[in-house]
Structure 1
Amino acid sequence: MAISPSSPPPPINVIAPNPGLRAGGTAQLLGLAGSQPTLLTIDPPWTPLFKGQKVELTCGDHNVSVSTTWYKNGKQWKSTASNRVQLTLSDEVKHQFRCRNRGFELSPAINVNISNAWLVLQVPARAVLEGDALSLRCRAWKDTKLSGVQFSRGKVLLQDRRGDELLLSPAKQEHSGRYHCSGKMHSVIPRWVESSPSELVVQELFSVPELSVEGPQERPEGSALTLLCATRHNALRPHLTLQHLFYQDGLQVAGPQLSPQHQVPALLLSHSGSYSCQVQTESGSVQKRSAQRIITVRRVPVAGVSVQAEPPGAQVVEGDRLVLSCAAAEGTGPLSFSWHRQGRTRPLGTGPRYEIAVTQLGDSDHYHCTATNGISTAESPQLHVTVVAPVSNATIMVAGTEAVGAELVRTAGEGLALSCAVQAGTAPVAFTWLRDGRELGTGPTWHLEALGPEHAGTYQCVATNRVGPQRVFRAHSPTLLIVVTLWGRQRVQALAVGLSVSLLVLLAATAALGWHFWRRRHPAATKSQHRDPTAPPARPAPPVLSTDPSEPEHSNVLLGTPSAGDVLYSTVTITEQRGGASPSPCGLAAPQEPPITYAALPGPQGLQRLPSDSYENTPCA
């Protein structure tokens, strides 16, 4: 039971305030937009205080003197040019003090109780935050000596004491409550006294963190995960530095770190689990952990499986290398691949690549690959692989039989069918026909219903196939000479035409010889006549033809002076004799031609006449 003294207790010694609570530094680090609250401190920093005790209030930084407005019990109390004020507590009441520096917001309140009891339990006058160094004091009036001090919270006796102080460091929220103390006070008459209860409130230094997940909690494997550990600071300690830790299934996976974020760039199935985060002070005196969040990582089904070939298009020349590659557009792994060929049950191989080092014609087929991640499986579309054999050994066939030799003789008017074949070559194969080196046509066959002289020449076929648009293979057949001959009536007609021409040539030659000999026998006829020298030279007169109808007419077709190498030709005109036609000795209806010799005469340079220059038309025997 508390006993009131007969006179007010004297003031006690002033205890220096905590330097870490200076207002200037606190206000500077609030980080709030606009004005910031000012921190108010009191010295001595305890409540309750004894009646008549002197105290000093400081608004803001102890080292800065600025004009200050003071408030007491909710009303404006006074204004001072300094940020400090001293006063004596004379009223046995509860006082609330606040202040404001110019340019700052109103400070938090400090509550100070005034007691006139013999014994009091003092708690800090300023706000107590988690993690603070905290002690409670049991004080007697005029600092009278005490012994056997005991501290209690409600009816629970507390043992953590040192003399007349109860140590509760670091402060925790569970330390909040009503405390009192008791002890033996050694005054004139020693007696046991007990204080009135004092209220202790420990405020949050920061709130319990909340763990948030960006996006859904069920996420596909391979996606990114961002966790945010959010907490709220107490406005009285905005400068507080906190550390963040992250846990999965109770095991620490990140931190301690200043950043409240934790990122996983690519989730795996093993990242599925229960996540939480912890926020703590640098010393670790205050630690708070969030509630758990369940993260589920699921495999992405395999889809979009495709096969790529090298060379592109999966067309390869026999003997070259072929490489097939398998890929999946979707699906999280690890992925497994297998290769398959149409019509075969056993796989050809495993892995994302399948290679045939030396391809053969038998490798042409449909291929596909299968991809699986252990949960889902997908197949690629079929890829048709074509192994191409270049064309080789092209030959020309006649009526289905290979042409033998380099010459083929055919009679005019006959039909002819040529075909081109190759010994090797993958379809499609194109064929081109050449005659005398010029393109004649295309196709595997060349067909004519009736041959003529214009069809004679050297023939060849060219076979072509390709791999893709770039690689082209060609095979040229041996050349074949086609000779077109004339037989029967056509040949007789040709011989008749030839003989007629020969007869005309012989007639011309004979006329020229006759004229030559006539001039030699009649030189006077060729002498020049007297003429006027001033007259222009007369053109030589043509030779005089005989008027005898039975004698042939000759005319020289070469005018002017012959030069070296010129050949003289003459035409001879035969006039048919009058009278009935005699039967042809050859049995022909046409009259018999007289025997005439045609000759080509050499020029004036004395060229020798060759026997082949004379032709003779001889009647039938």
Structure 2
Amino acid sequence: MLLRLLLLICAPLCEPTELFLIASPSQPTEGSPVTLTCMTTQSLPQWSVDQPQFRFFRDERVLGLGWSSSRELQIAAVWREDSGSYRCEAKTMAPKVLRSRIFQMNVRRVPISDVSLETQPPGGQVTEGDKLVFICSVAKGTGNITFLWYKGALGLNLGTKTQHSLTAEFELPTVRKSDAEQYYCAADNGDGPRPSGLVSITIRSPVSRPVLTITAPRAQAVVGDVVELHCEAPGGSPPILYWFYHEDVTLGSSSVPSGGGVSFNFSLTVEHSGSYSCEADNGLGAQRSEVVTLNFTAPVEKRRDRLTSGVIEGLLGTLGPSTMALLFCCWLKRKIGRRSASDPLRTPPSPVPREFTYLNSPAPVQLPPTYENVNVVSGDEIYSLVYSIQQEQAPAAVEPPGTHVENKDPLDIYSRLRKANVTDVDYEDAM
């Protein structure tokens, strides 16, 4: 009985104590904290009042400060390079040191997610000759990330960079027209590359100097013809805005969204003679065409009408009161001519065409007498009807001897002229 009791008392002390290490979490991800705990299968013997001591190892290198009374070790954040073999040790006052079994900890990377590609300048539009930067970024992912850039849907590799960051850049220092393509990037931190979406790049070029052509329905355009102005820039990225000018005065404008030229039509008038030009602009600098001169002919009738109306307008504007006096004189002249038609002694001659000359004169003055209806009455004597407009009534004319005047009128005065042949009478001298 006594032996059995001794065995029961000594059993906990005689059985070997095992030590083992656990990690929480057991398979951590990069950047997360980890707690290492050194555990035993049974309580350690308490042969003294001193607490047992613990220490931890990774790949046989001591972690922390060495021996500690705490059976736990806190690691704030682990990374991929923290993966390895871990163990712990424990000791009491007894000279024996207990060692745990090896614990293999693998730190997992945070997988790549949400890969995107951006450009600078933004929007994928860049001017030919400028710099273009591709920016590849990921929303999540740990460790060293390898970035790759590709051109075209088939994936022509342009460059590769590996760095410990979530973004990386690739630069084209000088873009050309051949760089207008689709691009994408990919990112890999060990779990395989993750691609971004496609980004289209547009290379914009300034417009070249436009060419202006003028088209008419005939070789020599005339007033009334419909004329077409056509402006086109041989090069330049659309959209392009065109402007048409006549003597530097804007006629109109038109925009083309996909390249090419534009036309502007109008019907010719005499005011359309002169020089024409056009301008092209796509936001990268405007270019002006060479000047084209348009000369055409106007119909003779229209030119005469324009000349006559211009002269009349000018004279009416400058002569004013003198013109009104001349018109009144002509009216009075017709009236006297109608009155003399009833006089058998006077035979109206055929009308003599006259050409009036209008001068710029001061205030109206008394007009010179007008001679009309020159006739041979008897023998070689010549009489003429004289009428005049006077400010005051003139004294009555002396009737020549042997002359009988009928239907005497205050405005009708008969006067004997010098002896001469009828053919010597000069009507304009009489004026």
Deviation at 1:314, TM superposition (A): 3.0
* Whole-Å separation in 1 of the counterparts to 2:293 and 2:117: 52
Q: Equivalent residue for 2:214?
A: 398
* Match among 295, 304, 323 for residue 492 of structure 1: 304
Superposed, 1:569-588 pairs within 5 Å as 573-575=329-331, 577=334
Q: Distance in 1 between matches of 2:202 and 2:67?
A: 61
Q: 1:448 is matched with which residue?
A: 265
Change (3 A) 1:426 1:226: farther
How far the C-alpha of 1:343 sits from its partner, in A, is 6.0
One-letter amino acid of the structure 2 residue matched with residue 448 of structure 1: N
**Preserved CA contact (<8 Å) 1:339 1:347:** yes
AA aligned to 1:425 is G
2:199 maps to 1:388: no
Distance in 1 between residues matched to 2:121 and 2:159, nearest whole Å: 20
Contact in 2 for aligned 1:458/1:481 (Cα 8 Å) = yes
Aligned pairs for 1:160-179 (under 5 A) are none
Letter in 1 for 2:235: A
Q: In structure 1, what is the equivalent of residue 361 of structure 2?
A: 601
2:33–2:76 CA contact under 8 A, matched in 1: yes
- Which letter does structure 2 place at the counterpart of 1:225? V
CA contact (8 A) 1:505 1:599 kept: no
Match of 2:77 in 1: 265
Pairwise CA distance, 1:385 = 1.9
Alignment deviations for residues 183-226 of structure 1 (CA, whole Å, 9 cap, x no partner)? xxxxxxxxxxxxxxxx889989xx987745334x2333454433
TM superposition shift of 1:430: 2.2
The structure with the greater share of residues assigned to strand is 1
- Residues in 1 aligned to 2:232 and 2:287: alpha-carbon distance in whole angstroms: 10
Counterpart AA for 2:130: D
Given residue 574 of structure 1, which amino acid in structure 2 is its aligned partner? C
Per the alignment, do residues 476 and 554 of structure 1 end up closer, same or farther by CA in structure 2, a change over 3 Å counting? closer
Counterpart of 2:278? 461
For 1:505 and 1:453, locate their aligned partners in 2 and report how far apart those are by CA, in whole Å: 24
Deviation at 1:495, TM superposition (A): 3.2
Task: Check if 1:415 corresponds to 2:226.
Answer: yes
Q: Does 1:220 align with 2:29?
A: yes
Aligned residues: 324
Instruction: Look up the SS of the partner of 2:305 in the other structure.
Output: helix
- Greater relative CO, 1 or 2 (CA 8 Å, sep 6+): 2
Give structure 1 stretches of 5+ with no counterpart.
Answer: 1-153, 155-175, 179-198, 401-408, 467-471, 513-552, 556-569, 580-590, 604-621
1:505–1:598: 8 Å Cα contact kept in structure 2? no
CA distance in 2, matches of 1:370, 1:317: 26
3-state SS in 1 of match to 2:302:
helix
Which residue type is aligned with residue 298 of structure 2?
A: L
Asked if 2 retains the 8 angstrom alpha-carbon contact of 1:304 and 1:328, the reply is yes
AA aligned to 2:122 is P
Q: 1:276 aligns with which of 83, 87, 98?
A: 87
Q: What RMSD over aligned residues (CA atoms) do the two structures have, in Å?
A: 4.5
Which aligned pairs between 1:5-16 and structure 2 lie closer than 5 A?
A: none
Deviation of 1:279 (Å): 3.7
In the alignment, structure 1 residue 426 sits paired with structure 2 residue 237: yes
Report how far residue 263 of structure 1 moved: 0.9
Distance, in Å, in 2 between the alignment partners of 1:427 and 1:501 is 52
1:208–1:441 CA distance, 2 compared to 1 (3 A): same
Any conservation in 2 of the 1:503–1:596 contact (CA below 8 Å)?
no
Check if 1:244 corresponds to 2:54.
yes
Is the 8 Å Cα contact of residues 151 and 182 (structure 2) preserved in structure 1?
yes
Matches within 5 A, 1:444-593: 444-453=261-270, 459-466=276-283, 472-480=284-292, 486-498=298-310, 500-501=312-313, 508=319, 555=325, 573-575=329-331, 577=334
Deviation at 1:460, TM superposition (A): 4.1
Preserved CA contact (<8 Å) 1:434 1:441? no
SS across alignment from 1:574:
helix
Equivalent position of 1:119 in the other structure: none
Q: Offset of 1:379 from its aligned partner?
A: 1.6
Using the TM superposition, give the Cα deviation of residue 422 of structure 1 relative to its aligned residue in structure 2, in angstroms.
1.9
1:68-107 alignment, distance < 5 Å: none
The one-letter code of the counterpart of 2:124 is A
Shift of 1:415: 1.2
Is contact 1:246–1:255 with CA below 8 Å preserved after alignment? no
Q: Which amino acid letter does the alignment assign opposite residue 276 of structure 1?
A: R
Q: Distance in 1 between matches of 2:303 and 2:75?
A: 103
Partner of 1:315: 125
What TM-score results when the alignment is normalised by the length of structure 2? 0.59
Offset from partner CA, 1:497-548 (integer Å, 9 cap, x none): 2454477689x59x96xxxxxxxxxxxxxxxxxxxxxxxxxxxxxxxxxxxx
Please report how far the alpha carbon of residue 494 of structure 1 lies from its aligned counterpart in structure 2 after TM superposition: 1.9
Residues 496, 230 of structure 1: alpha-carbon distance in 2 compared, 3 angstrom cutoff:
same
| 1:393 aligned counterpart, secondary structure | coil
- 5+ residue gaps, structure 2, are 162-167, 256-260, 339-350, 364-431
Contact (CA 8 Å) 1:248, 1:273: kept in 2 or not? yes
Name the % identity: 26
Q: Could you report, residue by residue, the CA deviation over 1:400-454 in whole angstroms, capped at 9, with x for unpaired residues?
A: 9xxxxxxxx9643221222222243122222234453557333353523423356
Contact 1:504–1:571 (Cα < 8 Å) also in 2: no
Matched, 1:325 2:85: no
Q: Which residue of the partner structure matches residue 350 of structure 1?
A: 160
Q: How many Å apart are 1:598 and its aligned residue?
A: 1.0
| 1:190 matched residue in structure 2 | none
